[in-house]
Chain A
């Protein structure tokens, strides 16, 4: 039962993944850039009837040096903090024009806002909250590479505890980022919007399914996409996919969905339980200074978070919630 609900949209297999490429090759992203890979999958799932609103950041810079563009769909970039705000206006325009008969009311046009963790967790949080509260029919995707990579790896409020960045450097009296990563999926879910999910390009089918679900939920949706940045994290570009998988398998970044802010579903549970976080941490230079005590602190936190998610899933797996979920999926 649960499996079928979690995969209520048409189940994808690699062979059946759309062949169109709406994010063209030749962009200027670094080797092994997981955000760029993620966008490719996102647009495969969303299809050509999609308008993308980008915040200033890595993916905007690498994809649009005039006169070149990687975007095979209509695309707009305005500023750093306002992707959600611009997307709100675009979506409202589409709604008005459809109602007035100036756009075909039958034609579905997706609106996707795209921003990094700085543009989402920090400077764009207010605009995001406004858009989610107003329940615009927009999918907001945060590609979280855990720092301001475009400007040279400065810490954001999504930078993980203990990580070295250029503004949270490791020094004689500092061990890197001094506070815990902001839980953006929980913040988005607190708006009780129809659909929130976490995803990672290392799990492309899961990512594409979630994009499809989000775009068909009928209101505001949020996907928090964990996206490995080899340049900023200090890891070989060949390891980007593997490190994304390790983040999920260690519980550093669990994959889950939240329906209407209440119903939690874990998308992937490592069959043999969570692997130790150390396996993940030791793959990246930004964590290499961390001693045993810090690693244990992170391990404890990860376990707590995982248990909290499991508890939420269990609490919302009663018959009543299952029925409600079926209703919600049917409405969408």
Chain B
């Protein structure tokens, strides 16, 4: 049976990959991800995990090797953060375009410059349009479960797309959390054997990654778009099967007191639970506040979000961004949420706030301020264009 053990979240994520019996791990150190690959190295060194562990010379190679391994028929895993993800960007895009179901654990960290090892979401937002299924974990248990399930989603014959699991660097990776860890027997059969229909096979030679002339490139990109859109039903299927078997249910959009809330904060990652604590406290003081967490980032859960936000009690949605689109809308998630709801007549006002960049702590009063910006919007009836950076020292 599942044991609840106190374990560092990074180690639990490594255990999740090992539980999925990965065949090839390509690893390169970068803070705050490093403990994940260190632990996988230990598992391989101790013979507990039967896998090839490649100590690559850069993240660019980490993704290239994972891609090569995946299309050679092996279950492949890698993990990175920040600059590492930025360096592998070229191959991140190619990996989804070549339909290689690689799973990547992404310990979210700020991008340079100035160099910062601390948490925000500028690394993942930089990869928004690379065609990966992208999922956020809000705590260690979720990071463990979602990493394990990612292999089943990625390798589904109707999906065949890479999956990245996001979890906040340090805030999640380096804390010790009580996590329900599975035994091998318990998850037996949950992830079927990996069998890519178009792999490198000397008995059935295929050409992978050919030149796409203008007469075919558009159609390939359309297929890719259809594939990621269609992946949604299989994501739900896998999460439902997991809930039926193990009891923990995951949804594309998670809510906390959203049913009767007037103002909600839209979050991704570890800020979600912090916001929930704020809501608990402020509900005691009569505030009708709630939290909506955007767990599934790609494919974007348009309908789920509308169902939660439109036509009910919610009058204002304050979107908390952990990255900046310079010279653009500032708030990346905010502008996506706003555009997703645009056509719905029952939509709430959508307001953007940005906070927690490069590891800046978001305090209780900062969350309160975010909600108050929403309330101010309701009072004035105006949807402010400007995104406020909360916690900025002026």
Interface size on B, residues (CB 8 A): 43
Q: B205 near A85 (CB under 8 angstroms)?
A: no
Q: B69 near A93 (CB under 8 angstroms)?
A: yes
Question: Which of chain A's residues have a CB closer than 8 A to the CB of B90?
Answer: 79
| Interface membership of A71, Cβ < 8 A | yes
Q: B202 near A85 (CB under 8 angstroms)?
A: no
Closest residue on chain B to residue A73 by CB atoms: B205
| Interface membership of B210, Cβ < 8 A | yes
* Cα–Cα distance between A66 and B56 once the two chains are bound (Å): 31
Q: A127 near B61 (CB under 8 angstroms)?
A: yes
| Interface membership of A49, Cβ < 8 A | yes
| Interface membership of A100, Cβ < 8 A | yes
| Interface membership of B26, Cβ < 8 A | yes
Q: B202 near A109 (CB under 8 angstroms)?
A: yes
| Interface membership of A5, Cβ < 8 A | no
Q: A49 near B57 (CB under 8 angstroms)?
A: no
Closest residue on chain A to residue B56 by CB atoms: A130
| Interface membership of A76, Cβ < 8 A | yes
| Interface membership of A90, Cβ < 8 A | yes
Q: A134 near B55 (CB under 8 angstroms)?
A: yes
* Cα–Cα distance between A61 and B24 once the two chains are bound (Å): 29
* Cα–Cα distance between A92 and B23 once the two chains are bound (Å): 9
Q: B52 near A95 (CB under 8 angstroms)?
A: yes
Interface majority SS (helix, strand, loop, mixed), chain A: mixed
| Interface membership of B85, Cβ < 8 A | no
Select which of B55, B65, B210 is within 8 A of A66 by beta carbon. B210
Within 8 A of A (CB), among B203-223: 204-213, 216
Question: Which of chain B's residues have a CB closer than 8 A to the CB of A133?
Answer: 57
Q: A65 near B210 (CB under 8 angstroms)?
A: yes
Question: Which of chain A's residues have a CB closer than 8 A to the CB of B216?
Answer: 66-67
* Cα–Cα distance between A57 and B146 once the two chains are bound (Å): 39
Q: B94 near A90 (CB under 8 angstroms)?
A: no
Within 8 A of A (CB), among B19-61: 23-24, 26, 50-52, 54-58, 60-61
Within 8 A of B (CB), among A27-76: 48-51, 53, 60-61, 64-67, 69, 71-76
Q: B68 near A75 (CB under 8 angstroms)?
A: no
| Interface membership of B390, Cβ < 8 A | no
| Interface membership of B72, Cβ < 8 A | yes
Q: B24 near A89 (CB under 8 angstroms)?
A: yes
Select which of B23, B55, B57, B211 is within 8 A of A129 by beta carbon. B57
Q: A86 near B64 (CB under 8 angstroms)?
A: yes
Select which of B54, B57, B210 is within 8 A of A69 by beta carbon. B210
Cβ of B140 to closest chain A Cβ, rounded Å: 28
Cβ of B155 to closest chain A Cβ, rounded Å: 14
* Cα–Cα distance between A49 and B202 once the two chains are bound (Å): 5
| Interface membership of B10, Cβ < 8 A | no
Question: Which of chain A's residues have a CB closer than 8 A to the CB of B208?
Answer: 74-77
Binary interface encoding of chain B residues 167-202 relative to chain A, with 1 for a CB under 8 A from any of its CBs, else 0: 000000000000000000000000000000000111
| Interface membership of A81, Cβ < 8 A | yes
Closest residue on chain A to residue B207 by CB atoms: A69
| Interface membership of A221, Cβ < 8 A | no
Within 8 A of B (CB), among A229-245: none
Of the listed residues A49, A74, A126, A127, the one surrounded by the most CB atoms of chain B closer than 10 A to its CB is: A74
Binary interface encoding of chain B residues 289-324 relative to chain A, with 1 for a CB under 8 A from any of its CBs, else 0: 000000000000000000000000000000000000
Known: A87-B68, A90-B69. A71 touches B57 (CB 8 A): no
* Cα–Cα distance between A65 and B215 once the two chains are bound (Å): 11
Question: Which of chain A's residues have a CB closer than 8 A to the CB of B68?
Answer: 53, 76, 78, 85-90, 93
* Cα–Cα distance between A66 and B206 once the two chains are bound (Å): 12
Question: Which of chain B's residues have a CB closer than 8 A to the CB of A61?
Answer: 211
Q: B210 near A74 (CB under 8 angstroms)?
A: no
Question: Which of chain A's residues have a CB closer than 8 A to the CB of B26?
Answer: 89, 92
Q: B61 near A88 (CB under 8 angstroms)?
A: yes
* Cα–Cα distance between A72 and B207 once the two chains are bound (Å): 9
Cβ of B199 to closest chain A Cβ, rounded Å: 8
B residues lining the A interface (CB < 8 Å): 23-24, 26, 50-52, 54-58, 60-61, 64-74, 76, 90-91, 94, 98, 200-202, 204-213, 216
Interchain Cβ contacts under 8 Å between A and B, 19 examples:
A51-B202, A60-B211, A61-B211, A66-B212, A76-B209, A77-B210, A78-B67, A78-B209, A82-B91, A85-B68, A88-B56, A88-B61, A88-B64, A89-B54, A89-B72, A89-B76, A92-B69, A93-B68, A134-B55
A residues lining the B interface (CB < 8 Å): 48-51, 53, 60-61, 64-67, 69, 71-79, 81-82, 84-90, 92-97, 99-100, 102-103, 109, 126-127, 129-130, 133-134
4 nearest CB pairs, A to B:
A89-B68, A89-B65, A130-B57, A93-B74
